[in-house]
Structure 1
């Protein structure tokens, strides 16, 4: 609804911060068609590479307190960035080799009367030389693997004649569902069709009519779409992770946070100062 309001206003500049986060597939397709045909200037923030490649012709990569400007889509920028870093590394190696050799000559001749002026010339040459720096692109990535689950039965979740209503609104009815160990399932559909509702039923958060049962020894963890809102903003990152019942030691918890790019003093940040992506991590 809010996106529709913005588009009706016919802006000259449209700022979109993660516009695809809560859109269903038809809405994303519609938005992509709009972005391709609109004449207004588009500035968007997104982690969706496919969405960026389809709709963007210029990249501002904000990394290590600098902005790298590139004309092209994101995939082309990544290729350019990798080649640029390789070129800079080669140039820096050549320059470092030259500096080392020059310093050796300086040490050799600086105390010889007939070569002292030559040594001073080399020193001034090095002082005036513009040092090659390798661009500080942020290439850090999450390094984590889920631990193997405990052994459980074949059936993870089962329902028969499941029905869920909110007042007079019937979300779904007569739903038979069998989920087996090892399944990889996506709930897809338009916004409001009941995807999150069904997820919350499986997680045991919502009551419903009909028969449903969780499998024996099945442990469910749930990452909600509003997970960030459930965090205590006044806690630090390390305080939050330590508040979770676990047998892991403090050093193991710190290692886990490091896997999600929280290390050093960053683990003492208050949750309220984190970005949306940092809160999700």
Structure 2
């Protein structure tokens, strides 16, 4: 279907790909994996035609169509409803529907055989393309991705970036391309939506290539793993778990071959050194020199499994009871989240809070932290409890003028520079990168710094909201190791099932406006949920007490909601303005790059210095604007979450 042969692609002098090859067959489900920066997303863009390779060929069958879900789609906005945007996938059916409507309108005043013939042909093609069911298909997929029926007629512009990405995913799924390419799709999905997409991909008739850090997702949807490493595409004929086993075996074989070759090289070098000066052996020694020069060297195995090498310390040891929420009621207008809910947290509890978006998980974390007021009830922290809270909006607390090293020193002054460098290395910041300013980091890099700060804090209680969203698999494993070593208590919101299965000894979920607890691991919880009978599910619904029934439906009122809506509108406007300015500055930057590459510039007195100064100024302004855009988008995401509950 698609053949990639001897692909080469360079970023400056660094080879992302060098003589790399891959064949994509119809119906294959491929997982593209590798460390951050190895070029996974770049490969998808090369296949899509956005980037041109520096060498090699990409051959596609004539009837191949490609659908590409990438992070750039976050910025797409329109006043059309999300149902209309998703139905753009049915361009031909919509065109035929418009044509049929126009013909019927003409026939009201001009009934001719020619119009009847046109109508018949259009209706026949429309029926052949299953045109009468396209709207129901679009509604089914949108609702499968977590949208309510009421959401379908809302303008796309009113949704945050993550929800807009879901709409674009729905559109791609409806187009059913020959090759569906998905770049980190699970970042924007909750657990029920991830499971829905898994089932959809499993039965998808085309080929799929997906970049993801979600191990469980990869295991459930792919049958081929392609690892990007050492500028090559390494093929493994199985899912991610198979890849781990097969790679360990390959590494063992390669390690043995490397060590054998090194022993042979040392032996040969000793022979050359011993006999090169002897006339009777000089010819043999020279032959061995040529043999070494011709030898194809085997690379040593690179250990990619970073380890956490620091110890967590508490400033104070807490008492047995960490937290008690008593009779908590929380609602946004008519949307009730919790009603007379109770939960207790004991020292040493490792809790994963799971469930669909809109159920109130992030709201509950904010209630626990004390940053979200409740309508009724009491929040009580235990003796000597000190907590640290990680969420996307916490990125604003980073000091943009600090270096990465300084920022971590503030979190834990007792750690040595070597220990802090070790922590930063775990989160993919190495060598001189530790001296970067916070203000030049991308949103994902800032997330990693903020997460490192939380882990380094001397808090004995951690609250982590979607901590794995911007981490690759290596960093997720580091976080798992860190939390396994952490002797305190934590509550984590995450949709990454593998991550949750490794770090939790209790599961919390919100059901019927109550906080429910399962006293076991995630795997045990999944098995228990699968075995619940309809009668048990019905019995799980709490009876409404008289006290509960008297709770006002409008506990907060509309004022707070209006404030959030106004703030969301302002954040979206700020993001749009920043995006427009970024486009203008990028255009000017490209012009300057062209001028700086022109030899005439160097011959004009003062022109070079002026353009270089302009170029540096533009680069700085672009960095500031991109940061403003990211902050506005993060704020919009947070507000959208509040409005949706």
**Both proteins in one fold, TM over 0.5:** yes
Does 1:262 pair with 2:403? Answer: no
* Residue 198 of structure 2, aligned match among 8, 32, 56: 32
Distance 1:41 1:231, change over 3 A: farther
Greater fraction of residues in helix: 2
* Residue 5 of structure 1, aligned match among 167, 171, 180: 171
User: Quick one: distance in 1 between partners of 2:374 and 2:299?
Assistant: 62
Distance 1:275 1:65, change over 3 A: farther
**Residue 279 of structure 1 corresponds to which residue in structure 2?**
447
Q: TM-score, normalised by structure 2?
A: 0.40
* Residue 274 of structure 2, aligned match among 91, 108, 111: 108
User: Quick one: distance in 1 between partners of 2:241 and 2:412?
Assistant: 42
**Residue 213 of structure 1 corresponds to which residue in structure 2?**
380
* Deviation of 1:28 (Å): 1.9
Q: For 1:75-94, list aligned pairs within 5 A.
A: 75-94=241-260
Unmatched 5+ residue regions in structure 2?
Answer: 1-165, 452-645
User: Quick one: distance in 2 between partners of 1:122 and 1:269?
Assistant: 49
**Residue 524 of structure 2 corresponds to which residue in structure 1?**
none
Query: Does the 8 A contact of 1:144 with 1:259 survive in 2?
Result: no
User: Quick one: distance in 2 between partners of 1:249 and 1:108?
Assistant: 49
Does 1:44 pair with 2:215? Answer: no
**Residue 129 of structure 1 corresponds to which residue in structure 2?**
295
Does 1:242 pair with 2:242? Answer: no
* Deviation of 1:160 (Å): 2.5
Does 1:224 pair with 2:391? Answer: yes
Could you give the per-residue CA deviations for residues 186-223 of structure 1, whole angstroms, max 9, x where no partner exists? 32322101111011011011111222222232111112
Distance 1:105 1:250, change over 3 A: closer
User: Quick one: distance in 2 between partners of 1:13 and 1:236?
Assistant: 43
Distance 1:117 1:187, change over 3 A: closer
RMSD across aligned positions (CA): 2.8
* Deviation of 1:34 (Å): 0.6
* Deviation of 1:173 (Å): 1.7
Q: In structure 1, the residue corresponding to 2:350 is in which secondary structure?
A: coil
User: Quick one: distance in 2 between partners of 1:265 and 1:62?
Assistant: 25
Comparing 140-149 with 24-33, greater Cα deviation is found at: 140-149
* Deviation of 1:82 (Å): 1.5
**Residue 74 of structure 1 corresponds to which residue in structure 2?**
240
Query: Does the 8 A contact of 1:85 with 1:135 survive in 2?
Result: yes
Query: Does the 8 A contact of 2:325 with 2:343 survive in 1?
Result: yes
Does 1:17 pair with 2:206? Answer: no
Query: Does the 8 A contact of 2:337 with 2:360 survive in 1?
Result: yes
* Deviation of 1:231 (Å): 4.5
User: Quick one: distance in 2 between partners of 1:100 and 1:154?
Assistant: 61
User: Quick one: distance in 1 between partners of 2:297 and 2:335?
Assistant: 68
Comparing 201-210 with 46-55, greater Cα deviation is found at: 46-55
User: Quick one: distance in 2 between partners of 1:67 and 1:77?
Assistant: 13
User: Quick one: distance in 1 between partners of 2:401 and 2:233?
Assistant: 31
* Deviation of 1:62 (Å): 2.6
* Deviation of 1:33 (Å): 0.5
**Residue 204 of structure 1 corresponds to which residue in structure 2?**
370
Query: Does the 8 A contact of 1:164 with 1:170 survive in 2?
Result: yes
* Deviation of 1:174 (Å): 1.4
Could you give the per-residue CA deviations for residues 135-188 of structure 1, whole angstroms, max 9, x where no partner exists? 546232444553357332332222222111223322222112222222233323
* Residue 167 of structure 1, aligned match among 322, 333, 347: 333
* Deviation of 1:129 (Å): 1.5
User: Quick one: distance in 1 between partners of 2:368 and 2:230?
Assistant: 42
Comparing 124-133 with 244-253, greater Cα deviation is found at: 244-253
Query: Does the 8 A contact of 1:95 with 1:132 survive in 2?
Result: yes
Query: Does the 8 A contact of 2:308 with 2:423 survive in 1?
Result: no
Query: Does the 8 A contact of 1:63 with 1:136 survive in 2?
Result: no
**Residue 350 of structure 2 corresponds to which residue in structure 1?**
184
* Deviation of 1:233 (Å): 5.9
Distance 1:251 1:98, change over 3 A: closer
Unmatched 5+ residue regions in structure 1?
Answer: none
**Residue 155 of structure 1 corresponds to which residue in structure 2?**
321
Distance 1:48 1:143, change over 3 A: farther
Q: In structure 2, the residue corresponding to 1:91 is in which secondary structure?
A: helix
